[in-house]
Structure 1
Amino acid sequence: MIRIRNPRRPTDFMKYAVICPDGASDWPIAALGQRTPFQAARLPNLSRLAREGLVGRTLHVPAGMDNGSDICVMSLIGFDPARYHTGRAPLEARSLGVDLGPDDIAVRCNTVTVEHGVMVDYSAGHIRTEESRPLLEALQAALGTDEVRFHPGVQYRHLLVLRRPDGLQAECTPPHNITGREVAAYLPQGPDGGFLRDLMERSIPVFADHPANEARRRRGEGLATQIWLWGYGRRPSLPAFREVYGVSGALISAVDLLRSLAMYLGLDVLQVPGITGFTDTNYAGKGQFAVEALERHDLVFVHIEAPDECGHIGDHARKIESLERIDAEVIGRLAESAHAKRGELRLLVCPDHPTPCALKTHATEPVPFLAWGPGVPAAGLEYHEADARRSPCEVAPGHALMDRFLKGDWRNP
């Protein structure tokens, strides 16, 4: 296979793997003896790589910006959100096959569970895609127009596209930030807030007696009581990853946000069977596809959503389980591949943001990263939040981490 020569690489055949355990970083938990899930989990592969590599910290939230995954993942993948970010929903649109025009505004549309005015579940009980799709189709039939179009997505994550040449002005709150709270104080506000609130209210009778909800009710599962609108924006303009970094790449993720971002960046989006964006995902499949992707690409980016979802529901036990499976079935497979390639693979492990189980939403704090492989100095630390804080290596701003990883430049500025 012919390789394009890249002066950043220690050899002409260097390969790169970036693993993002979304929301994995956490706070000490009393039930775990004041340890974090990273500290409590059994992670033999990460522990070995940490001792042989470099542990540091970085913050993927630029000053004045929100700590959403749309911003943090854009930073982790090496692009400055302050320059390129236009909103979450437009980043998700492309993987749904939705081509946004110049007058279009994409709005994130969750199916949620609101009971007695309280946000019970931002995901409607992690509703299955085959159940949420007919709900969105019914919504389009009832409320859709040439200017208002609902597009089904994956599980609870859907899209509303508005044709509004004059734009949209509203202050919206992500539903995962208000679990257990009364929603009245968090409804869309601003000049166009009433328009969004009206759509949300009109979704309630559409969903109320829908067969998909009736089936969930019979099984004792949470109902999708309405939609929640947030995260809007226009189509972004992003350069190709290869133009910026000089390497080809592929991405593995079950989440539309990541898949669309990859498409905008010209990365190959891999279709892995059985990946779900939750704890029942196909971890082994992600690991195997990542190894195989490196036969065709210079870099593979593997995103695993499960730890973040566990943080949002406050379940540290399942978060630990997801980390252990990532270690065994994703990190382990890539580490085996690195051994087989005799040192021609460099690894980076880094969450996009913390999702502490006690908080049940994102925290604007630095996250620990682990770099390992050729050109990476050995620091002898463990991979968890406490050792990352005492490490002398801090990368700022966060979007510079990708460049330093590819160059093998770990000198503190």
Structure 2
Amino acid sequence: MKYIVMLGDGMADEPLQELGGKTPLEYANTETMDRLAAKSEIGMAHTIPEGMNPGSDTANLAVLGYNPRLYYTGRSPLEALSIGVDMKETDVALRCNLVTLSEETGIPYEERTIIDHSSDEISTEDAAILLEAVRKELENDTYKFYVGTSYRHLLIWDKGMVVDLVPPHDHLGSVIKEYLPEDEMLLEMMKKSYDILENHPLNVERRKKGLNPANSCWFWGAGTRPALTSFAEKTHLKGAMISAVDLLKGIAVGAEMQNIEVEGANGGLHTNYEGKSKAAVDTLLKDGNDFVYIHLEAPDEMGHQGSVERKVQAIENMDSRLIKPLVEALDASGEDYRLLIMPDHPTPICIRTHSSNPVPFMLYDSRKDLKKDWHYNEREASESGNIVVEEGYQLIDRLIRE
């Protein structure tokens, strides 16, 4: 038996007027998922524990079977694991986004508006050049910068404090004054990063190309060194992770799972869907792994961008270009498998950030046909009355224990 989790990050949403009162998942052409849903269990799961922030960190830990209340120490430490940073017990890790702030002449840094948390999904190659310019000016024995993926990078603070910091994607279009760090040194570094990056030659070229400049660092997601139980020890399964995002790669490192790199996988809308599908099939059928976790970032990014059309497209791409060839290859192999399809959390277009609402899931078993007439979406999963999983971290037991 093989086990697969297909995680569409931020895929869940709210009904939208422009989609005739449907959610993007309900509106999208998802022929493969709907065909599987008719043979599957569907239901709702609470992946965000009450009182915790609705982040991809807590939610993906839960989907993998790790109780966030016990295992969560912050987002950035998990990303540090992916980058290969060996944190000391006294280190604090912080996410360092390269963001786009407004560039009005003559106003102070605090009065600028946050335009884009991802600087038009800047490439890792461009981001590395800009972060190197910041590193030369700001790095010292206390603060060290590390390149991550796309706009997502890392700051390690020696003997630091876990301070309360605000995610930039939660306040797009807002003046940043209310959301800046209270810590004076972190704030000073953010201000200096703007001075360093505003007129950097690479940003000059980005503007000429119609792209948002990556003109400031933004620190958030502080935390201390994580300690996860081995996934194999927890589940008795040999597992692999397929993701373009450092957070998920870091979770895999902490859980002692195999990280599988897919060329062209970038965390954006135009990622290598087919490559992820093939990598999942190969790791299950050729490499001897029992379990694979396929993470797709695109729906979440489109939700943060507030793009209804692109979020629908991301979901349709996942269905036709990733899930369809995955299922076809597994069916052709004759291998029995169980497939869990779900988001980690909602990223509603109307708020352009995460919410704590429960998410729909679908559990398909290749050996079974439940002969249902439902489709896979938020409304039908909620109205089915079939299953409600109150503690999201228990859902993986439903996948692998049967």
Rounded to whole Å, the distance in 1 between the matches of 2:389 and 2:374 is 17
- 2:190 paired with 1:208: no
- 2:168 paired with 1:178: no
Match of 2:137 in 1: 142
1:30 to 12, 17, 25: 17
| Equivalent runs, 1:245-394 vs 2, <5 Å | 245-295=235-285, 296-342=288-334, 344-373=336-365, 378=370, 379-392=372-385, 393-394=387-388
Rounded to whole Å, the distance in 1 between the matches of 2:37 and 2:158 is 49
Structure 1 alignment gaps of length 5 or more: 1-13, 409-413
Per-residue Cα deviation, 1:14-35 (whole angstroms, up to 9, x for no partner): 0011100100001111111111
SS in 1 for 2:376: coil
Rounded to whole Å, the distance in 2 between the matches of 1:362 and 1:232 is 18
Query: Which amino acid in the other structure matches residue 32 of structure 2?
Result: N
2:93 to 102, 106, 123: 106
- 2:212 paired with 1:222: yes
How many pairs were matched up? 390
Match of 1:405 in 2: 399
1:40 to 5, 14, 27: 27
Per-residue Cα deviation, 1:167-210 (whole angstroms, up to 9, x for no partner): 41422110000001111011123xxx222111111111111221
Match of 2:108 in 1: none
SS in 2 for 1:45: helix
Per-residue Cα deviation, 1:362-402 (whole angstroms, up to 9, x for no partner): 11100000000157672442100001111220112000001
Per-residue Cα deviation, 1:277-303 (whole angstroms, up to 9, x for no partner): 000100010111111110220011000
Match of 1:9 in 2: none
Note if contact 2:101-2:215 (Cα within 8 Å) is conserved in structure 1: yes
Match of 1:156 in 2: 151
Query: Which amino acid in the other structure matches residue 330 of structure 1?
Result: L
Rounded to whole Å, the distance in 2 between the matches of 1:182 and 1:60 is 31
Rounded to whole Å, the distance in 2 between the matches of 1:387 and 1:39 is 9
Shift of 1:325: 1.2
Rounded to whole Å, the distance in 2 between the matches of 1:377 and 1:79 is 30
What's the TM-score, normalizing by structure 1?
Answer: 0.92
Note if contact 1:53-1:380 (Cα within 8 Å) is conserved in structure 2: no
What's the TM-score, normalizing by structure 2?
Answer: 0.95
Query: Which amino acid in the other structure matches residue 374 of structure 2?
Result: L
Structure 2 alignment gaps of length 5 or more: 105-111
Shift of 1:63: 1.2
Per-residue Cα deviation, 1:311-332 (whole angstroms, up to 9, x for no partner): 0011111111111111112111
SS in 2 for 1:294: helix
Note if contact 1:54-1:377 (Cα within 8 Å) is conserved in structure 2: no
Shift of 1:342: 3.4
Query: Which amino acid in the other structure matches residue 92 of structure 2?
Result: I
Query: Which amino acid in the other structure matches residue 313 of structure 1?
Result: Q
Match of 1:119 in 2: 114
SS in 2 for 1:332: helix
Rounded to whole Å, the distance in 1 between the matches of 2:133 and 2:63 is 37
Rounded to whole Å, the distance in 2 between the matches of 1:86 and 1:391 is 36
SS in 2 for 1:75: helix
Rounded to whole Å, the distance in 2 between the matches of 1:377 and 1:173 is 46
Match of 1:86 in 2: 73
Identity score, percent: 39
Shift of 1:40: 1.1
Note if contact 1:128-1:155 (Cα within 8 Å) is conserved in structure 2: yes
